[in-house]
Structure 1
Amino acid sequence: MGTRQIGRADTAHHHPHVVRALSGTWRWQCDCGGASCRTALAQVSWREAVIGALNHATCLAP
């Protein structure tokens, strides 16, 4: 029987960034695929998007 490696995403290097949507609201997205809600009903301010991005980065960090 051999040793099996489990592939895990590198959680120490999540760098989400905040971008302005075409509708004029803000959202965050990360290279890992994580992102804030992108529906038309979600009206997110810049401050809320930054807080969501920071939460994403800190929740995944080891």
Structure 2
Amino acid sequence: MADYSFSKRTDVYVEGVYHHAYGAAGSAFEGADINGLGQSSTGNQVAATVGLRTQLNG
């Protein structure tokens, strides 16, 4: 995870994950699976989150 402050109250963050599944061809675990996302139809899956935060108090 990376975090960068624009000001005292505002920052931006980036987080990413890559999953490569192998050795499970023909089984129920054939596709890559990252928690919170649906199972990939291939052995690879990528997820990224980008957000902008602003603190309203303080």
Give the TM-score normalised by structure 1. 0.31
Give the TM-score normalised by structure 2. 0.32
Bigger fraction of residues in strand: 2
